[in-house]
Structure 1
Amino acid sequence: MTTTIFWFRNDLRLHDQVALQAAMGARRLLPVVCTPGMDTPTAWGFARMGRHRRAWWASAVRHLARALQTAGSQLLVLDEPPATALPALAHAVGADGVVCEDIAAPDEQAEVAAVRAAGLPVLTIWHSSLFDPAQLPWPLQQLPDSFTHFRQAVEQTGLTPAAPLPPVGRLAPWPRGVPDSVLEAQRRTWARLSAIAPAADARSAFPYLQSGLHAGESAARAHLARYLASDLPARHKRARNGLAGQGYSSKWSPWLATGALSPRKALEQLRRYEAVHGASEGTRCLWLELLWRDHLRFLHLRHGPALYRARGLAHAPTPTHQPERFAAWCAGRTGQPLADAGMRELAATGYLGNRLRQIVASFLVHDLACEWRAGAAWFEHQLLDYDVYSNQGNWIFLASRRTHPRARRRFDPARQAGRYDPDGHYRQLWGTA
């Protein structure tokens, strides 16, 4: 290719950038990002991106732009749908095509299909998982739906992810001919993104955009190094069900979600930690969490849009929905103290620990009898570490709508409070005790 557009999606980094490496042969390269429809409404009456996701994403884009400048390039931010923005841009600069990350979720697949339908070739590259799908011991259509069976096969066959790629070096220059109207629109977009500020809350378990916790890959790698320089990895199994504070989990997910941190880089550094300090139950839990993340991605490659049906993958009746109960759940005003505390933390901070995510999701589906996809959409709106694969996969799991679901995966919130918040500290913190 003579001129290539590289479209950053959920891979806002320069290290371990398989897709960007595939575009490096171009004589001229134009890196772009399309703002992700921040005000696009869901079927449930609210925007897909709330203030926390907007602030975190905007920070990631700003830091990606700085990294690209260091590599001798620039980032062009397009504030319109890819289906119209990319073909028009390609025509203006004489680009031969687009290279981008492959994302196996329906809306993201539809974006690529629309660009292709407009006549612009798009090369998609899969690189969001530890393992390449071709490494797996089965064809994708035979992928186990059970994580246990998946894990056992991966470990028994001794699969090892490829080493992460080093950061890209100097990038090819921009092409000539970027329209002045596009550059002017970008200036307005940058001003809008710069105005998106975090909603600071001193109670936050992840005080993003404070104390160096910006969304770029430099902060991701610094956080990873700090975490692995502490005793937290060895204590992870005991601490991972914590409810409050910054030390109860790895907090890798916000950077993994935007792609500012590659999972292969995280695993590489974890293995180096184990080589010095020894493996432990805690480091094994971290490995399994990364592997669970892979499994949810591969389930999307196998099942695709079926994961987004009301019945999911199961032969189950259409779920009920209670709009008033759902609104109370979103606001943290159902009257159930632990669930309400969790939903208030989510609204105030854009973050919620894994234990509480399971508790509030179970409460919505199994106690309030609401549609699980509404809950998934609310998490998409709120979570700064929203990841389409993990969000949909975990919700379908909690709603017992997998192909071979267990009995209802209900978490009794009163029992959970007795076990994980016995002194009521968390509920007091969020005003529900």
Structure 2
Amino acid sequence: MSTLIYWFRNDLRLSDNPAFAQACLNAEHLLPVYVHDCKEQKTVYGFERQGLHRKTFLRASLDDLRVELQAQGSDLLELYGEPQVILQKLLTDTVAKSVYCEQIEAPEEMELVRVLRDQGMDIREFWQSSMLEPQDLPFALEKMPDMFTAFRREVERAQLKFAKPIPTPQHIPALPAFLPQGSILPSSTQSFAHPYFLGGASHAQTHLKQYLERRLPDDYKETRNQLIGMDYSSKFSAWLALGCISVRDIAAQLNEYENCYGANDGTYWLWFELLWRDYFRFIHFKYGQSLYRAGGLTGLPVKPSSLASFEQWRSGNTGTELVDAGVRELHHTGYLSNRMRQIVASYWIYDMNGDWRAGAAWFESQLIDYDVYSNQGNWLYIAGRGTDPRGGRPFNVAKQTQDHDPHGVYRKLWLSAG
């Protein structure tokens, strides 16, 4: 038995965290770490890659994780800098043998792990962010169906629903006797709150519990395209994005709900949306870096867009009320309904001839539920540069306005917010 480092990434929880559970089993001493990567904090478009709302939600989630670790006699070490420098120093200072972490199958995250290994570090990655286990699928990921519908049909034909979640470790190994010089295990000195969400695993579980107790899944299919409020959709996405709760945990509790109250269109549609999330993850194993090219999986050129038009769009000053209301909601809350995300993205790409990559970068900066797989997948889908052979998805804003905000309630709410 030896000293190990557990590097938390987008898995800020102890429950149903296979990588952390394995580290607990293999270590005599375990140092839980979160590294705030200070490299490349700004996008090529000049704004922060992680906006205020994302930082706020992350801060609350880390504080919650620390409390959970402390309750079991451990703690969370937070450090700021480049992970390749920070982790190398920690391994040396603590004489740790390995770094355990979750696997993230996206180009920047994969490149970072490659660099760490090239430096001689023993990095043990565990895939754990999907509802289904890759090895349970009825096809190899490299040969998975390109179209979601075909993917879903094969999954359903194999009668796959979710992988069983694992419990929280009963014992967390003690911290190393020697901690790095100058490293402090900090507690938050400021109270952070979000108008919609409170970050952290405890709040994720509280939200899921009340969502199920109030029988909200039953109406999900009918209400999911609404624009205002908390209850029209599940709102699981922010906690899922940082791994404050696992998708397998949600699917398992949803399954228990169906066993108690019966399955219906709403519960199926919730599972259906979680399967979309899996699809966007798994397609990365097949196409990888190609998903991040300007043309995506196509040879389509990218039309240059002016900085002035981009500023109009992202500040909510296009003159198209529904679009402006949506972008302003995003700015004020860090959240936007799925329907509005599609509308504002379509408007930027097709009505303003904008570069889809700029829009994707703005969503990355602003959304508290930013998820690299889903964000890239959805923007490629709208832009017609992903796996869908039918091309892009331009939305008729006038029709969308009539369908989803006929009385102007949503527009009035957010246009008045400035």
Fold equivalence (TM over 0.5) = yes
Hey, what's the Cα distance between the residues in 1 that align with 2:21 and 2:167?
10
Deviation at 1:404? 3.9
1:195 is displaced (CA, Å) by 4.8
TM-score by length of 1: 0.93
Contact 1:5–1:30, Cα closer than 8 Å, also in 2: yes
Matches within 5 A, 1:356-395: 356-395=340-379
Instruction: Tell me the equivalent position of 1:295.
Output: 279
Contact 1:4/1:30, CA 8 A, preserved across alignment: yes
Change (3 A) 1:4 1:41: same
Deviations 1:54-112 (CA, angstroms, capped at 9, x unpaired): 00001000000000011221110011111000010110010001000000011111221
* Letter of the 2:42 counterpart: P
Moved more, 55-64 or 213-222: 213-222
Residue 30 of structure 2 is aligned to residue 46 of structure 1: no
Q: How far apart are 1:196 and its partner, in Å?
A: 7.8
| 8 Å contact kept, 1:99–1:124 | yes
* d(CA) in 1 for partners of 2:170, 2:220: 35
Q: Output aligned runs, 1:91-106, within 5 Å.
A: 91-106=92-107
TM-score scaled by length of structure 2: 0.96
Aligned letter for 1:161?
Answer: F
Match of residue 220 from structure 2:
236
Which residue identity lines up with residue 171 of structure 2 in the other structure? Answer: R
Q: Return the alpha-carbon distance in structure 2 between the equivalents of residues 430 and 74 of structure 1.
A: 41
**1:108 equivalent in alignment to 2:92:** no
Q: Which digits, 9 at most, give the CA deviation of each residue in 1:265-321, with x for residues without a partner?
A: 100111111111111111111000100000000011111111111000112123432
Equivalence for 1:17 = 17
Instruction: Choose from 400, 403, 415 the match for 2:399.
Output: 415
SS across alignment from 1:35:
strand
1:204 corresponds to which residue? none
| Alignment correspondent of 1:431 | 415
Q: Do residues 3 (structure 1) and 28 (structure 2) align? A: no
Cross-structure match for 2:288: 304
Q: Which amino acid aligns with 2:21?
A: Q
Following superposition, the deviation at residue 38 of structure 1 comes to 8.3
Matched residue, 1:130: 131
Rounded to whole Å, the distance in 2 between the matches of 1:62 and 1:197 is 10
Q: Which letter maps to 1:324?
A: A
Give yes or no for the alignment of 1:324 onto 2:308: yes
AA aligned to 2:19 is A
Does the 8 Å CA contact 2:94/2:178 hold for their aligned counterparts?
yes
Choose 151-160 or 333-342, whichever is displaced more.
151-160
Given the superposition, is the C-alpha separation of residues 347 and 31 from structure 1 closer, same or farther in structure 2, using an over 3 Å criterion? same
Between 1:109-118 and 1:391-400, the stretch displaced more is 109-118
In 2 relative to 1, CA 4–76 (structure 1 residues): closer, same or farther, beyond 3 Å?
same
- Of 271-280 and 95-104, more deviation after overlay is shown by 271-280
Q: Does the Cα contact within 8 Å between 1:314 and 1:405 map onto a contact in 2?
A: no
Identity rate, percent? 45
Partner SS state of residue 27, structure 2: coil
What is the number of residues matched between the two proteins?
A: 416
For 1:143 and 1:288, locate their aligned partners in 2 and report how far apart those are by CA, in whole Å.
17
Superposed CA deviations along residues 186-211 of structure 1, whole A, max 9, x for unmatched, are 55xx66xx55845x6xxxxxx23xxx
Contact map agreement 1:38 1:54 (CA 8 A) in 2: no
1:214-225 matched pairs, under 5 angstroms: 214-225=198-209
8 Å Cα contact 1:87-1:119 kept in structure 2 = no
Flag the 1:196–1:400 CA change in 2: closer, same or farther, 3 A. Answer: farther
Using the TM superposition, name which of 235-244 and 166-175 deviates more: 166-175
- Matches of 1:218 and 1:39 in 2, distance apart? 31
The one-letter code matched in structure 1 to 2:59 is A
**Separation in 2 of the partners of 1:82 and 1:275?**
44
Secondary structure, counterpart of 1:53 in structure 2? helix
| 1:80-95 equivalences in 2 (<5 Å) | 80-95=81-96
Contact 1:53 1:382 in 2 (8 A): yes
Separation (CA, whole Å) in 1 of partners of 2:313 and 2:389: 25
- 1:337 corresponding residue in structure 2: 321
Displacement, 1:176?
A: 2.2
2: CA distance, partners of 1:162 / 1:335: 47
Tell me by how many angstroms 1:125 deviates.
Answer: 0.4
Contact 1:311 1:319 in 2 (8 A): no
Distance apart, 1:417 and its partner CA: 0.5
Pairing 1:269–2:253 present: yes
Deviation string for 1:130-158 (max 9, x for gaps)? Answer: 11111111111111111000000000111
Query: Take 1:17 and 1:73, find their aligned partners in 2: how far apart are those partners?
Result: 16
- Which residue type is aligned with residue 9 of structure 1? R
Question: Which residue matches 1:141?
Answer: 142
3-state SS of paired residue (1:15): coil
Asked if 1 retains the 8 angstrom alpha-carbon contact of 2:73 and 2:174, the reply is: yes
Q: What residue is the counterpart of 2:36 in the other structure?
A: 35
CA distance in structure 2 between the aligned counterparts of 1:230 and 1:81, rounded to whole angstroms: 44
**Structure 2 stretches lacking a partner, 5+ long:** none
Contact residue 337 and residue 432 of structure 1 kept, 8 A: no
SS in 2 for 1:14: coil
Q: Which amino acid aligns with 2:147?
A: S
Q: 1:402 aligns with which of 383, 386, 397?
A: 386
CA contact (8 A) 2:59 2:192 kept: no
Structure 2 Cα separation of the partners of residues 57 and 39 of structure 1: 18
Q: Matched residues in 2 for 1:36 and 1:282: separation?
A: 39
